[in-house]
């Protein structure tokens, strides 16, 4: 079962230093021990501030020297890195597109620029919410500090892949093509999370009838195959070994309107992903099939008794698998996703995005019903 653990910022700095040593390269410098602790501490206490009545979300980049990037606004006369100063600068940042660049000067950390998005990805401490810090290194999320809990990703810290578990669930996704289709659905979940609302994605085998125990408020006619068609186009003539990399390259447009993609097929695919992900903002759920066709949205899981109440519950961050029941969940969305899976006569899956920023995966296959999660703030969701 999940254990409540509380760790200090000092413990975070110590563990983070050891963890990042396995990935460190000269081209992406790391701060010294004292600077790392000071950086984490300032970010943590800044996360507790409000500015203009809003909770803050921003990033702080360890950037001792200027680098070529999309845009840099240098601060004339760098300012000390304090929680208050970070909170004042934070509203100027464009989501993850811009960070506050800091460097050491005469024994203190100083904020010297607003560092624009570019190919160079320095060590970055991201404030996700009050008491929530994520540390990225070379563009990869490597650590999460969630109100006293420390989670790590990579190296000796294994995190169970929801995409692999999703692909394993469906017979139609058993080959190389399956893992890329599962990755598409996984990406839809992260986009739904980024939109800042809760939601649910239901997945059923292609060619099946309307799933058991649901009411489809908005069925889809024209456009149902848009995502499937654009996925097929972007994958055309791509060797299996290169498919996931091509999907990763199909990122959405940045805040300044640039498309960080390689060609028009990837731009069209990324736009389709964004459009379908926004359907999760409608109350209830988005329904897809394994061909990536949109079967409906605003899909309600009808209240009623589940055929069973118990299921396997796996912690993605630790080797912990135990039997749980529906009473373990707070709220209605998680039970609805699990009950949906239980009711189906064939394999099925539900991805649940909580309003608190967590993601969970519920699946039904020949082994029964399993819940994998939750992934705190989507950390480690691949």
**Domains plus CATH for the chain?**
9-152 (no CATH), 162-378 (3.40.1700.10)
Q: Does this model's pTM top 0.85?
A: yes
Quick check: 68 pLDDT over 70?
no
- Please list the helix, strand and coil fractions of the chain in percent, rounded to the nearest 5, in that order: 35, 30, 35
User: How many C-beta atoms surround the C-beta of residue 46 within 10 A?
Assistant: 26
Residue spans of alpha helices (H) in the chain: 9-20, 33-47, 83-89, 162-169, 176-194, 226-235, 243-249, 264-278, 333-343
Q: Whole-angstrom Cα distance, residue 301 to residue 334?
A: 11
Q: What percent of the chain has pLDDT over 90?
A: 69
Q: pLDDT at position 95, please? A: 65
Q: What angle, rounded to 10 degrees, do the helices at 176-194 and 226-235 form?
A: 120
Q: Determine how β-strand 368-375 pairs with β-strand 310-315.
A: parallel
pLDDT in tens, 134-162: 999 998 999 999 989 999 999 999 999 99
pLDDT in tens, 80-128: 999 999 999 998 886 667 899 999 999 999 999 888 766 778 999 999 9
Instruction: Name which of 107, 151, 126 is nearest 7 in CA terms.
Output: 151
User: How many C-beta atoms surround the C-beta of residue 211 within 10 A?
Assistant: 24
Mean pLDDT of 18-40: 95
**In contact, 19 and 157? CB cutoff 8 Å:** yes
| Three-state secondary structure string covering 92-114 | HCCHHHEEEEEEEECCEEEEEEE
Helix (H, G, I), strand (E, B) or coil at 349: strand
* Cβ contacts of 71 within 8 Å, gap of 6 or more: 98, 114, 116, 256
């Amino acid at each position: 079962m999940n254990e409540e653990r509380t760790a200090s910022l000092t413990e975070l700095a110590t563990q983070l230093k050891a963890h990042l040593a396995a990935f460190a390269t000269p081209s992406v410098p790391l701060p010294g021990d004292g600077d790392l602790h000071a950086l984490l501490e300032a970010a943590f206490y800044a996360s507790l501030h409000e500015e203009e009545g809003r909770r803050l979300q921003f990033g702080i980049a360890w950037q001792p020297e200027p680098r070529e990037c999309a845009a840099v606004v240098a601060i004339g006369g760098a300012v000390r890195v304090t929680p208050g100063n970070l909170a004042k600068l934070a509203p100027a940042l464009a989501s993850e597109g811009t960070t506050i660049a800091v460097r050491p000067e005469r024994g203190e950390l100083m904020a010297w620029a607003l560092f624009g998005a570019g190919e160079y990805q320095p060590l970055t401490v991201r404030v996700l919410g009050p008491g929530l810090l994520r540390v990225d290194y070379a563009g990869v999320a490597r650590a999460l500090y969630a109100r006293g809990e420390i989670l790590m990703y990579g190296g000796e810290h294994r995190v169970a892949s929801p995409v692999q578990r999703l692909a394993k669930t469906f017979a139609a996704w058993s080959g190389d093509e399956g893992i890329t289709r599962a990755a598409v659905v996984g990406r839809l979940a992260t986009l739904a999370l980024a939109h800042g609302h809760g939601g649910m994605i239901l997945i059923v085998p292609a060619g099946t009838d309307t799933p058991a125990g649901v009411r489809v408020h908005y069925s889809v006619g024209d456009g149902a195959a848009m995502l499937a068609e654009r996925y097929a186009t972007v994958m055309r003539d791509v060797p299996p070994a290169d498919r996931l990399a091509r999907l990763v390259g199909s990122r959405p447009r940045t805040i300044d309107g640039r498309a960080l993609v390689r060609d028009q097929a990837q731009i069209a695919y990324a736009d389709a992903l964004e459009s379908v992900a926004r359907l999760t903002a409608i109350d209830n759920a988005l329904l897809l099939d394994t061909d990536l066709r949109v079967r409906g949205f605003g899909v309600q899981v009808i209240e009623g008794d589940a055929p069973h109440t118990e299921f396997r519950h796996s912690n993605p961050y630790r080797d912990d698998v135990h039997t749980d029941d529906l009473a373990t969940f707070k709220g209605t969305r998680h039970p609805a996703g699990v009950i949906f899976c239980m009711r189906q006569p064939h394999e099925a899956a539900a991805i649940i995005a909580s309003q608190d920023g967590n993601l969970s995966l519920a699946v039904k296959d020949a082994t029964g019903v399993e819940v994998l999660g939750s992934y705190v703030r989507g950390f480690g969701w691949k």
